[in-house]
C-alpha cells in the first residue's frame, strides 16, 4: 500500500467548511431573507395604499377635466338642493347644494340648459349630467355619469366663487373651484 505524504493526508480529511464559515453563511442567508421579507411587506403595504386611494389617482383627473370644460363654457349657473329643484328652477341655495344648473349660450344666439347633480347613496351614488333637449325637454335618466366613485358631492357659492367638493370612497376630499365666463 502506498502512503501519502503528510501534507496531502491532512487536506484529504479536511474537505468541509469550518464552523466559522458555516455560521457566517447562515447569518448572511438570514439577513438576506429578512430584507427580502421586509421588502415584500413594504410592497404589499404600498399596493394597499394605492388601491385605497385609487379615486385620487384614477377618477379625480377625469372629474377635473369634465368640471373645467362644463363650468368654463357655462354663461351662468345656480345651485339647488336637488336635481328636481334645479330642473324646476325653484329654491336656489348658496351652500350645501346637491345640484348645479347651468345655461350655455350658443354662437347663433340660442341657449341650452344642463344640470349636474349628485344623486343616490352608498353604492348607487353618482355625479350625473342632465341635458335639456330643446325639443323633448329634460330626460328622466342622466345623459352621462361624470363619476360613480364618490360618496358625497356639495356645491357652494357663498364666497362668490363656485366650490364643488367631492368626497371619495375612502373619505378623501377634493374641492374644485370654478367660475362662469
pTM here? 0.71
Q: How far is Cα of residue 60 from the mean position of the Cα atoms in its chain?
A: 5
Q: How far apart are CA 47 and CA 30, in angstroms?
A: 26
- The answer to whether 154 and 79 are in contact (CB under 8 A) is no
pLDDT tens-digit series, residues 51-96: 888 888 888 888 888 888 888 888 889 999 998 999 998 888 988 8
Kind and range of the H or E element at 71?
A: helix 60-73
Instruction: State the pLDDT at residue 168.
Output: 87
The values of phi and psi at residue 78, to 5°, are: -140, 150
Cell numbers for 172, please give them.
378623501
pLDDT tens-digit series, residues 108-167: 888 999 999 999 877 788 999 999 888 888 888 889 989 888 889 999 988 788 899 999
Amino acid at each position: 500500500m502506498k502512503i501519502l505524504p503528510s501534507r496531502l493526508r491532512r487536506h484529504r480529511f479536511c474537505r468541509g467548511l469550518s464552523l466559522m464559515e458555516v455560521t457566517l453563511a447562515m447569518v448572511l442567508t438570514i439577513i438576506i431573507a429578512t430584507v427580502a421579507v421586509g421588502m415584500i411587506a413594504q410592497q404589499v403595504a404600498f399596493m394597499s395604499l394605492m388601491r385605497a386611494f385609487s379615486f385620487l389617482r384614477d377618477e379625480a383627473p377625469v372629474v377635473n377635466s369634465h368640471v373645467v370644460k362644463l363650468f368654463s363654457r357655462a354663461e351662468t349657473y345656480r345651485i339647488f338642493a336637488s336635481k328636481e329643484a334645479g330642473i324646476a328652477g325653484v329654491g336656489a341655495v348658496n351652500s350645501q347644494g346637491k345640484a348645479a344648473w347651468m345655461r350655455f349660450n350658443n354662437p347663433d344666439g340660442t341657449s341650452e340648459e344642463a344640470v349636474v347633480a349628485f344623486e343616490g347613496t352608498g353604492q348607487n351614488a353618482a355625479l350625473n349630467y342632465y341635458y335639456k333637449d330643446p325639443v323633448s325637454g329634460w330626460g328622466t335618466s342622466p345623459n352621462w355619469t361624470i363619476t360613480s366613485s364618490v360618496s358625497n358631492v356639495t356645491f357652494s357659492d357663498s364666497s362668490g366663487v363656485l366650490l364643488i367638493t367631492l368626497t371619495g370612497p375612502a373619505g378623501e376630499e377634493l374641492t374644485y373651484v370654478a367660475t362662469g365666463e
